[in-house]
Structure 1
Amino acid sequence: MKLANVQQPIRLGAMTLPNRIIMGSMHVGLEKLPNGVERLADFYAERASGGAGLIVTGGAAVLPEGGMGEVYCNVFLDEHIEQLRIITEKVHQQKGKIALQLFHAGRYAYKEVTGLDPVAPSPLQAPINRTQPRELDEAGIERTIAAFASGAVRAQKAGFDAVEIMGSEGYLINQFLSPVTNQRQDEWGGDFGRRTRFGVEVAKRVREAVGRDFPVLFRMSGLDLIPDSTTIEETLQFARMLEEAGVDALNIGIGWHESKVPTISMMVPRGAYVWVAQQVKEAVHIPVIASNRINDIRHAEEILQAGRCDLVSLARPFLADPQIVAKSVQGRFDEVNTCIACNQACLDHIFDGKVASCLVNPMVGREVEWALAQATVRKKVAVVGAGPAGLEAARVLAERGHEVVLFEKQERIGGQLNYARQVPGKAEFNETLRYYQTQLVKLGVEVRLGTEASADELVREGFAEVVIATGVVPRRPEIAGQEMPHVVMYNEVFEHKVKVASKVVIVGAGGIACDLSHLLVHDEVISPEAAEYLLAYRILDAKALHKLQTGKRKVFMLRRGKHVGTGLGKTTRWATLAYLKQNGVEMLTEIEYKRIAEEGVYITRNGEEQVIPADTVIIAAGATPNDALYHALAGRIPVHLIGGAKEAGELDAKRAILEGAQVGRAI
């Protein structure tokens, strides 16, 4: 596929971008590590070398009370200029262009990290913050507007090629615009015109401060996804006002952090919000940038070709593969390590106060120290198990020059990724398997499918070292009645070895059980194309269609403990559980198992015994390491244990791939 539209240059102010792909803003937290700014600079430089047309940094606070703490990037003091210059110099060495995002969190700022009270247009506490904000007075508003302008000047002096004003995702400027968070009755709130004043003034003041030619982007909220917030008509009017204020491009953000609507997780269809950017594009004459769940440059090409926007912003896809643009331009689409929108190592890490990385690319944040070096001694290495841990180990070992043989007892690679990819909304795991399949062929890894390696064979064949990535064995808890014919293990369901009836009880309520429940209640009796036709001609309404699409199974999840979905990511767990509840899955916690009988599972709950009816009982109560081969080889060959074979738990592809990457560099 030719990428004619992607590769077309575009001007923003006096700056010409070489292509239409922007790396969108992300907080990655590298600043808090030793030599943090240098590491952040290396991170951005790697993405610049990979062909990003423009990189937008994570937000740099324009005032201390609106930031994320001292360890993060800030731009409210002159002494910050030289710190930031480290970033621009490294990016420019790679011939890249980079914009600093001017940031103020408003009521989303945490007093625990800033040491200061958060501020907002009105003293309304955010549901994701424990601190009520202080209402900005007139002097505070003027000070904040001036801070955006002076921050832009500092960015200019630090060598940035542009600035982006953060006015989306429920941060301060967005809070002034929305009637939900701005309940003032002075010149800065009330009707729509007064609610727009703060954002427009920031845009005007930044433009005046940096001059006409210096590019100013504005990230505005296309949809708040908050009840009773800004309407689409008001959004389009605000876009026109920003154009008049002198901004050079509008970057369209979707949703607030407190919204109950998933916007960037794997369950969100690709490009689901491009239509919002298209509406803005039709309302203004300046370039408009589309974002959210676009993870393939070919998709970006289609969007641009259709004239739906002028540029496309990809954020997390640049974590998964910093070379995504360069590979795609060269037609090497199958070699792209595609972002699967799992959030597990990026957003989940950030919201837990950790440094961001990437499930499919743990090299993120380790760009310099993990740069692959050729092995000084070429060895013949066996990797046993072609799940995520073994696949990454084999890939890294082969790339470093080792002779690698990959053993897999199943007839296909992937291990338990083959379970995950069956779950509705998790088809992106297919991309990970495609990437590894391509890499194994490209790097000359010998793959032996349908082969269960034994210790004697590995010794006899003369392998110098062995990596054991044999995964896990499903665990059977001690519950009477497990031998009955209607009791099955979770792996048997995923492997289509058993039929599942209409009344189901799942013993366990962790991540595996949630995936199983999702799979079992989903019943796509009507294709998406047919659904569109039926809705268009009003043969069915949305409610009737949903009823048809909902599976006929009744599913219960049982757990001795208190919480359901442990092992699911912080940023996706709520949406998964909401979906399951919406589809009738019942979750019973703090129970005691008594026995399994023909009619169902007997439990004790709140001191009372009851039976949960079941035609099929599925055991999904965790796993134990499959490490027998490791022990059989110990003392005979140098052997390494990784992934589930080392530590059984939930299906933890993040840890598995990380450990595969580590052992691949260690041998």
Structure 2
Amino acid sequence: MKKYKNIFSSLKVKNMVLKNRIVMPPMGTNYAGQNGEIREEHIKYYEQRAKGETGLIIVENAAVDFPLGSNGTTQLRIDHDSFIPALYNLTERLHKYGANVAMQINHSGASAVPDRIGCQPVSSSNIPSKTGGSIPRPLERKEILDIVEEYAKAAKRVQIAGFDAVEIHAGHSYLISQFLSPIYNKRRDEFGGNIENRARFGRMIIDSVRREVGAMFPIILRVSADELIQGGNTLQDTLRILEYLDDEVDIFDVSAALNDSLQYQIDKMDLEDGWRSYMSQAVKEKFHKPTITTGNIRNPEVAEEILTQEKADLIGMGRGLIAEPKWALKVKNGQEDMLRKCISCNIGCAGHRIGLNRPIRCTVNPDTIYEDEYKNRKVKRQTNVVVIGGGTSGLEAACTAAELGCNTFLFEKKPYLGGLAKEISKFPDKYRVSYFPEYLIKRAKKLNNLTIFTDTEGNVKLIDIVKPDIIVNATGSKPLLPPIKGLLENIDKEGGKLYSIFGLLNRIHEFENVNFDGKKVVVIGGGAVGLDVVEFFSERKAKTSMVEMLPMIGKDLDVITKISVKEIIKKYNVNVNTNTALTEVASDHFKVKKDDNEIVMNFDYGFVCLGMRAENQGLEKLKEHFQDKNVEIINIGDSFRARKIIDGVKEGRDIILALEKINAIL
């Protein structure tokens, strides 16, 4: 299409011809079988992205050496011929939709977990791959040569299994990276010391892979172009390293960061679209080969601009394609307004896989495997559904019900939709959160059988008129304000300096462009919301303190946000008080208790962010009124229990279960 002519132009790299410039880069899923085999649901996951017109899908890293080189709870393997048949089924399925498919091959080195592999991990030296990680043993020369050959054999299996290219992972604190980076490599033999020596292992692997796959099979090399950590390789260092690795590489997949700078690898929310493209541009300009860039790219305008300015040849969208498998198809068809954009929350993807060893999920996409297949089911009789509450869980429930053919009515007592997600997105660094309610609202407005009433409380009398078969209570949550002396008397008062989170958000634009240099800001509560407040005021030069009753802050945060929080606290010298309880509140100070000592904390601005609590006061009246009327009533999202957006959205999609329960759906 003319508007995005570069995105939808083809690209030929040796024997591989890409129909467009959109790439799904490799991302671990924990979808593989216990023995590293690919399963049907895993294939289905990739198939959805192929159906969505993705030009190149790079299947997540597969271990070339098991168990020593594996990472993750369940990871694909490519260390034996027995994995070829199932992987061929994968490539055959994806090729039907015109997608090209590559596979990333990898050895995790020191990033392996001893309890999972049953032995001590290996590396270039005895340096852990992350702070607090296990200490590896340095590889001996013969072991290095053996691993080189394992890469070669794995690449040949990739080719036999029908893939169109192979990617070698040389970044992100995995084994090749552990040789390239001076952070890890302390060797004194021919594999350590100067840049040429540190690149030798990678050079040998590339040569051995080329020997096996032949001259016309594309080789992609993924690198951390800037390790973004003190003492690590800078972009200029990497450009010198790549002089030794360039031969036989056909595409450079230009990423960034190591394990201890993970928030720049799996991009934190506030990094702008395409922030990393200057790195791929530098590689492209020096080596004159196609490059892939990644980095929070959500908007097609940004993708097109990067290609137009020749900062990269291919646009990698990782989490963006977990959230929206049809990204390329929707953009191609002029449906950009209906893109379900990733909000970069890192909860269901990185948080599940890295932090919790779960299979990946997605906050904004409640079904990453089967996607829209639920729409093939339809109600078999007239079914009326009422949804009370227009936040993200309520909107997902209402849209799903309407898409299945229900006559659906949504009542929201506020004059606008979007709920807590819309409120939280008022923080400048959380603006991406607004993508999701905006998408849901647009989706809802396209459904003729979904009627939305704002400024309308969904009371019993009104709902009774509709004669519902199902009522969905999704009334959300409100700030938790415990009975602490002075709290209710002082919070959110006209002319006061003490705020709840909603009190702050209602006035956020008054604070946004203010310099708070020298002002004392004290935040009570070290959870996600409290940390958002700390970040907001610290960036505006306030002298910020935080009080948390638990031994640590950010207890339930995803792994990326936790690392980002540590960075913020260190950068802005935030005064953190853990194991500290709020005991009393005044208009200009808090009294807190730590180790039996009472402390007075004066503030110019104080914020109480002790979490949220369910708001469902009308639920019992609903149950009482409709108990003899054969009406199914479900309570979802924060009105069930205050949690994350991901939980409520899944429960919204699960209205299908309520329809099954009343035998209303085919």
Do the structures match in fold with TM over 0.5?
Answer: yes
Kindly tell me: are residues 599 and 216 of structure 1, through their superposed partners in 2, closer, same or farther at Cα, counting changes over 3 Å?
Answer: closer
Q: Kindly, what percent of the aligned residue pairs are identical?
A: 29
State the match for 1:388 in structure 2. Answer: 392
2:218 paired with 1:215? yes
Matching residue of 1:644: 638
Whether the 8 Å contact between 1:394 and 1:664 is mirrored in structure 2 is no
SS at match of 2:39: helix
Query: What is the CA-CA distance between 1:599 and the residue it aligns to?
Result: 4.1
CA distance in 1: counterparts of 2:250 and 2:147, whole angstroms: 22
Map 1:113-512 → 2, pairs under 5 A: 113-128=116-131, 130-244=133-247, 246-259=248-261, 262-263=264-265, 264-351=267-354, 352-367=356-371, 372-444=376-448, 445-482=450-487, 483-484=489-490, 485=493, 486=496, 487-496=498-507, 503-512=520-529
CA change 1:333–1:177 in 2 (3 A) is same
Per-residue deviation, 1:186:
1.7
Instruction: Give distance in 2, aligned partners of 1:327 and 1:498.
Output: 34
1:387 to partner: Cα distance: 0.9
Q: Which residue of 2 aligns with 1:607?
A: 596
Q: Give the corresponding residue for 1:654.
A: 646
Residues 139-180 of structure 1: per-residue CA shift (max 9 Å, x gap): 111111111110011111111111111111121111111222
Q: 2:51: which partner in 1?
A: 49
Q: Give 3-state SS (helix, strand or coil) of 1:46's partner.
A: helix
Aligned pair partner of 2:556 in 529, 550, 567: 567
Q: Name 2:614's counterpart in structure 1.
A: 625
Deviates more, 1:304-313 or 1:609-618: 609-618
Compute the displacement of 1:521 (Å): 4.2
Distance in 2 of aligned mates of 1:31 and 1:42 = 12
Query: Does residue 595 of structure 2 align to residue 592 of structure 1?
Result: no
Distance in 1, matches of 2:604 and 2:240, equals: 57
Work out whether residues 106 and 172 of structure 1, in 8 Å CA contact, stay in contact via their aligned partners in 2.
Answer: yes
CA contact (8 A) 2:28 2:60 kept: yes
Q: Which amino acid aligns with 2:567?
A: A
- Tell me the amino acid that sits aligned with residue 609 of structure 1: E
Partner of 1:534: none
Find the aligned partners of 2:654 and 2:347 in 1 and give their Cα distance. Answer: 19
Q: C-alpha separation between the residues in 2 aligned to 1:642 and 1:128?
A: 39
Deviation track 1:359-384 (CA, whole Å, cap 9, x = no partner) reads 10021135598565222234221111
Instruction: Give, in angstroms, the shift of residue 336 of structure 1.
Output: 0.6
Is residue 334–residue 434 contact of structure 1 (8 Å, CA) maintained in 2?
A: no
8 Å CA contact 1:396, 1:665 repeated in 2: no
What is the rounded CA distance, in whole Å, between the counterparts of 2:73 and 2:530 in structure 1? 41
Q: Which runs of 5+ in 1 are unaligned?
A: 523-549
| Counterpart residue type for residue 391 of structure 1 | L
Q: What amino acid does structure 2 have at the position aligned with 1:586?
A: N
Asked if residue 63 in structure 1 is aligned to residue 55 in structure 2, the reply is no
Per the TM alignment, residue 399 of structure 1 is displaced from its structure 2 partner at its CA by 1.5
Residue 661 of structure 1 aligns with an amino acid whose one-letter code is R
Pairwise CA distance, 1:111: 1.7
In 2, the alpha carbon distance for the partners of 1:642 and 1:517 equals: 30
94-103 vs 506-515, which moves further: 506-515
Is this contact kept in 2: 1:108–1:128, CA < 8 A?
no
**Residues 260, 58 of structure 1: CA spacing in aligned structure 2 closer, same or farther, 3 A cutoff?**
closer
User: What are the ranges of 5 or more consecutive residues in structure 2 without an aligned counterpart?
Assistant: 660-666
In structure 2, relative to structure 1, the CA distance for the partners of 1:189 and 1:518 (3 Å cut) is closer
Distance in 2 (alpha carbons) for counterparts of 1:177 and 1:165: 14
Aligned-pair CA distance for 1:305 = 0.8
User: How far apart are residue 310 of structure 1 and its match?
Assistant: 1.2
| Alignment correspondent of 1:547 | none
Distance in 1, matches of 2:301 and 2:206, equals 33
Q: 1:365 to 1:113 in 2, by over 3 A?
A: farther
Name 2:23's counterpart in structure 1: 22
Q: Secondary structure at the match of 1:67?
A: coil
- Cα shift at 1:115: 1.8
Does the C-alpha gap of structure 1 residues 498 and 248 become closer, same or farther in structure 2, counting only changes over 3 Å? closer
Match of 2:419, SS state, is coil
Tell me the distance in 2 between the aligned counterparts of 1:36 and 1:153: 18
Identify which range, 55-64 or 94-103, moves more after superposition. Answer: 94-103
- Mapped partners of 1:180, 1:592: distance in 2: 40
Cross-structure match for 2:85: 82
Shift of 1:582: 3.3
For the 8 Å contact 2:352–2:358, the answer to whether it is kept is yes
Kindly tell me the number of residue pairs found equivalent between the two proteins: 636
How far residue 46 of structure 1 moved from its aligned partner, in angstroms, is 0.8
> 1:85, 1:189 → 2: CA distance?
38
Three-state SS of the structure 2 residue aligned to 1:505 is strand
Measure, in 1, the Cα distance between the counterparts of 2:272 and 2:252. 23
* Offset at residue 254 of structure 1 (A): 0.7
Tell which deviates more after alignment, 595-604 or 365-374.
365-374
Gap change, CA 1:199 and 1:476, over 3 Å in 2: same
Letter in 2 for 1:563: M
Alpha-carbon shift at residue 82 of structure 1 (Å)? 1.7
- Matched residue type, 2:451: E
Asked whether the equivalents of residues 123 and 175 of structure 2 are also in contact (C-alpha less than 8 Å), the reply is yes
**Are the counterparts in 2 of residues 225 and 261 from structure 1 also a CA contact under 8 Å?**
no
Q: Supply the distance in 2 between the matched residues of 1:106 and 1:412 (Cα, whole angstroms).
A: 51
TM-score normalised over the length of structure 2:
0.91
1:25–1:101 Cα contact (<8 Å) kept: yes
In the alignment, the residues of structure 1 paired with residue 476 and residue 106 of structure 2 have an alpha-carbon distance, to the nearest angstrom, of: 44
Question: Which amino acid in the other structure matches residue 288 of structure 2?
Answer: H
- Aligned residue for 1:258, secondary structure, equals helix
Offset of residue 424 of structure 1: 2.6
* Distance 1:203-1:260 versus aligned 2 partners, 3 A rule: closer
CA RMSD of aligned residues (A): 2.3
TM-score (norm 1): 0.90
Which shows bigger deviation, 19-28 or 130-139? 130-139
CA-to-partner distance for each residue in 1:395-431, whole Å, 9 max, x for gaps?
2112212222221111111111122211232111122
Q: 1:618 to 1:462 in 2, by over 3 A?
A: same
How far is 1:334 from its partner? 0.7
Q: CA deviation at 1:50?
A: 0.4
Residue 262 of structure 1 deviates from its aligned partner by 3.4
